[in-house]
Structure 1
Amino acid sequence: MNPPAITMSTPLKTRIQKVSLIFACGTALFSDGYANGVIGSVNTLLTRVYGKEALSHHNYSTVVNSVGFAGFVVGMVLFGYLSDKLGRKFGMMAASAIILVFSGLAAASSGAHGSVGGLLSMLSAMRFFLGIGLGAEYPCGSVSASEQSEEPGINKGAWHRWLALSTNTMIDFGFVIAAFVPLVLFWIFGPNHLHAVWRLSLGLGIIPALGVFLWRLNMDEPVRYKKDSMKYTRIPYVLVLRRYWKSLAAISFVWFLYDMIVYVFGIYSSTIVNNVTGGSTDLTIVFGWNVVINLFYMPGTILGAFVIDYLGPKWTLIVGLVLQAIIGFFMSGFYLRLTDNIAAFAVVYGIFLSFGEFGPGNCTFILASKSCPTAVRGQFFGVAAATGKLGAFIGTWIFPPIIKAFGGPDSLRGNTGPFWIGSALALLSALITFLFIQPLTPDGMAREDSEFREYLEVNGYDTNQMGLVGVPESEVGEESKSRMSSEEAMVA
């Protein structure tokens, strides 16, 4: 028995419910963008409250960045395994709960007897555990969203679009809101109550986490997971690696290079703000320009989401990387002229960031979640995403010495050097994508699962134990036929 196709005559409520399931899985990544974005403003506030020397004395900046990245990597790798073995819903609910709890505890950070060092240590520790929850969303929420995006009833012409909008676009939207919230709170509380501003900026991260937690309560496992998971059987890792190591290595390396670029170039937002404001210390001006710069992420990710289903993730990724490289080289060559008009520099820099979101920002999620079988999708995605975070971590450490080697941040070469390097890395990523990453095909997830089963059987693996126990055939459906019927489906 096949699930009925959804057409334009289907009630709008039903069509919205189909798409809303994708967003229920992926929208929690908004918390990732918010948590990563807001910590920069919080650190600015902490410097004003406790003094730059106090934060430097406790090596706070280095510690909080290091433990945050460590938490992400732990969450991605650990929950990649758990989402495959215990279920997508378990992973998503656990991730939301962790984010909910540790967002609140981070906001409540304090030291014994008012100790600043104790407060900073607790805040760093809470950021580590929060990072685990945020990292868990990648192989749990994103993977589940990818599986929901190819459910019967979702228009094939919008499969990748909905996935991009529910994952990477949500992260970027989180960055925008994270820049806006401290500004609004500063307007409300004023310069004499910065304690309230930084604590509420962190604590408000509870709200989206709670909303997503409640949204997910009545969710079921995706049909793909029910049919092809290895929850109750041994995962043959040797066979998996033999078949998928090349695609995993290529996607992971592209993600590594992209995160190295995007996280490192985040440091230029503070440079732009400083130049635009003439070194102003007025938090209204500093936070206001931070909002403007973060807004540049949105056009790229939204436009890219509507292009992916036409060009395909592979070619959209290549186009985005090449265009980002061209803009980066342009900024390097015309740096002096652009900085004479800082508004022009900010716009061109924003376009540079937008092309990053247009291509690799959106497409790494899609390629990592749809280039492997359901049975190991969480682990495949978790390893690729963790490799990306490793690139971000390495980039934040190696680029300052690189800038210094080019002549320092006050020299022309010191300012243009990172753009030359970043643009070259973007071209390298485009070349790797062209040579080693395979394009996704229609019905690719269903076809890959079928071919993976055949591959396992040829190599002597018993596939009869795959899938969840007691799932009725009517619920799983006859995959190929229901896919044919869904070609006509339209989603508003």
Structure 2
Amino acid sequence: MTSAEVVPDRGKQVSTTKEKISAYFTIAAAAFGLISDGYQNNLMTMTNVVLKRLYPKDYTSSVSTRVSNSLLVGAIIGQLLVGVVCDRLGRKVALVFTTLVIVLGATLGTAAHGAHGSAKGLFWFLTFARGITGIGVGGEYPASSTSASEAANEQMLSKRGPVFIMVTNFVLSFGGPLASSVFLIVLSIAGENHLPTVWRVCFGVGIVLPLTVLIFRLRMLSSKLYRKGAIKKRVPYRWSLSIIGDRLLAPVAHGRFLYDFVTFPNGVFSGTIISNVIHNSDIKRTAEWQLLLSSIALPGVFIGALLCNPLGRRNTFNRRYLDDLGFSGYLVFGLIIGLAYDRITKIIPLFVVFYGLMQSSGNLNPWESLIVSSGTCYGLSAAVGKAGAAIGTQAFIPIQNNLGKKWTFIIAAICGVTGILVTYFFVPDMTGVDLAEEDARFMEYLRENGWEGSIGEDEDIDLIEGRGGDSDSISLK
């Protein structure tokens, strides 16, 4: 077997007008799809407050945790499942599947009832429905993120990092203010005397959001990067994990697990925390403060998007300093709130501002280092992160009950210290890396290690023998 070098066929990378339009629509559809995810992630924030008001005896802290955590458990399943579907069946199949699953779960949640009006039955029904929704929400992460990354890589490589952040991290974070705004609008129309209608209508809005992008996903084209590098048979999972292990393991430990461990429980239960701080637990006031809190968390995303490319291009360590700055926010604001909890909660505006700045600090981290063109690996990375979110959510109430409410913020500060150390020593810089070139290097790596199989979606190529038809997937020389 002669030596061969696998390189992208530059002559066949010229995008047609249809491909360019499809790429831009793919990026936009990913953004709108992930807005739906962000909405679902934050839907229980005020719903927990409402259900506690409606069912003070039955909606205990353990029930609240179970219902809230079911979305995260479902998300882990969805991320692992759909990550594989992305690679084996294609991005389009995965995106349509996740959309339909979210619609199904949201519909079940909206119509949830317990047998004979049982409150316990209602909460178990909600647990099941939120779990189904979670499978779709979790599946959106690898499906939307990989498709958006590939499309941005083809049409705007130099701006891929900021674009990726804005159509993923930003829209996910935007789900917080959106959920609070929808709640306030519905509450103003229905009134506090019709709280069962309020939370069901909010659930119903979650049905409409994913349907807005379904038509675009049904008509989208697979990215050229996927068509060139798709491996649908004899997938080399062992080699894949070996070559990208350094890029996968660090983001899992840094960007996913620690970030989600702090952010998700503090987001899901923030409405309950604010409700406890407000003396009369007024639902409308709680929602208004919650809207402010979630809005303060948004600027961090913009800062991360603006700085990830300039800092990354100059120096890898500067890129790491930006991540460290994000985790430093957990350390600083977590300690301020935790150590002064009894005093600061008496000044609600100050408490909400510091709370929001802590959340915004987490959003500062520009997760461009998480960009991979493998849905399976992205799904695995995201699933480990959601495991951190599930563990954090499960531990949140017990920490409050056994150690005190201030300790949830002190532990966030401890996670900030851990995040700083992991970032400094392990996180690689992926700024400006062309995913097409990375795919070519990966194919060469497979050839050198004796893998035999076919690549490309249009016409198969025998990687080992170097034979194939007029495919635009890979050129060998």
Q: Under TM normalisation by the shorter chain, which class is it?
A: 0.7 to 0.9
| Cα deviation 1:342-399 (Å, max 9, x = unaligned) | 322321221111111111xx41xx32223xxx3xx11111111111111111122334
Unmatched 5+ stretches in structure 1: 410-414, 480-492
Question: Structure 2 length normalisation: TM-score?
Answer: 0.86
For 1:286-435, what aligned pairs fall within 5 Å after superposition? Answer: 286-312=286-312, 314-332=320-338, 335=341, 338-339=344-345, 341-359=347-365, 362-363=366-367, 366-370=368-372, 374=373, 377-403=374-400, 406=403, 408-409=404-405, 415=406, 417-435=407-425
- RMSD of the alignment, in Å? 2.8
> 1 CA distance for matches of 2:402 and 2:117?
41
Q: Could you say which residue in structure 1 is the equivalent of 2:87?
A: 84
Q: Could you say which residue in structure 1 is the equivalent of 2:6?
A: none
For 1:223-234, what aligned pairs fall within 5 Å after superposition? Answer: 223-231=224-232, 233-234=233-234
State the 1:293 CA deviation: 1.0
> 2 CA distance for matches of 1:55 and 1:202?
18
In the alignment, which of 120, 144, 156 is matched to residue 154 of structure 1? Answer: 156
> 2 CA distance for matches of 1:448 and 1:386?
23
> 2 CA distance for matches of 1:44 and 1:90?
37
Alignment partner of 1:204: what SS?
helix
Q: Could you say which residue in structure 1 is the equivalent of 2:58?
A: 54
1:22 partnered with 2:32: no
> 2 CA distance for matches of 1:306 and 1:473?
41
State the 1:224 CA deviation: 1.0
State the 1:476 CA deviation: 5.7
Counterparts in 2 of 1:249 and 1:332: CA distance versus 1, 3 Å: same
Q: Could you say which residue in structure 2 is the equivalent of 1:484?
A: none
> 2 CA distance for matches of 1:120 and 1:403?
22
> 2 CA distance for matches of 1:4 and 1:88?
21
> 2 CA distance for matches of 1:228 and 1:430?
35
> 1 CA distance for matches of 2:445 and 2:474?
22
Question: Structure 1 length normalisation: TM-score?
Answer: 0.84
State the 1:334 CA deviation: 5.1
> 2 CA distance for matches of 1:47 and 1:397?
18
> 1 CA distance for matches of 2:343 and 2:114?
49
Alignment partner of 2:332: what SS?
helix
In the alignment, which of 454, 458, 469 is matched to residue 469 of structure 1? Answer: 458
Q: Which amino acid aligns with 1:369?
A: I
State the 1:204 CA deviation: 0.7
In the alignment, which of 415, 429, 433 is matched to residue 443 of structure 1? Answer: 433
State the 1:268 CA deviation: 4.7
> 1 CA distance for matches of 2:332 and 2:115?
52
Higher mean alpha-carbon deviation, 309-318 vs 123-132, is at: 309-318
Aligned residue pairs total 450
Q: Which amino acid aligns with 1:85?
A: R
In the alignment, which of 126, 129, 137 is matched to residue 126 of structure 1? Answer: 129
1:2 touches 1:477 (CA, 8 Å); kept in 2? no
> 1 CA distance for matches of 2:169 and 2:217?
19
Counterparts in 2 of 1:167 and 1:284: CA distance versus 1, 3 Å: same
State the 1:288 CA deviation: 1.4
1:106 touches 1:123 (CA, 8 Å); kept in 2? yes
Alignment partner of 2:451: what SS?
coil
In the alignment, which of 441, 446, 453 is matched to residue 443 of structure 2? Answer: 453
2:82 touches 2:142 (CA, 8 Å); kept in 1? yes
> 1 CA distance for matches of 2:131 and 2:157?
39
> 2 CA distance for matches of 1:450 and 1:225?
12
Counterparts in 2 of 1:217 and 1:17: CA distance versus 1, 3 Å: closer
The percentage of aligned residue pairs carrying the same residue is 32
Q: Could you say which residue in structure 2 is the equivalent of 1:238?
A: 238
Q: Which amino acid aligns with 2:47?
A: V
1:95 partnered with 2:98: yes
Q: Could you say which residue in structure 1 is the equivalent of 2:253?
A: 253
Q: Could you say which residue in structure 1 is the equivalent of 2:184?
A: 183
Higher mean alpha-carbon deviation, 129-138 vs 237-246, is at: 237-246
State the 1:477 CA deviation: 9.0
State the 1:60 CA deviation: 3.0
| Cα deviation 1:264-309 (Å, max 9, x = unaligned) | 333455334433x32x233221211111111112111122222222
State the 1:33 CA deviation: 1.3
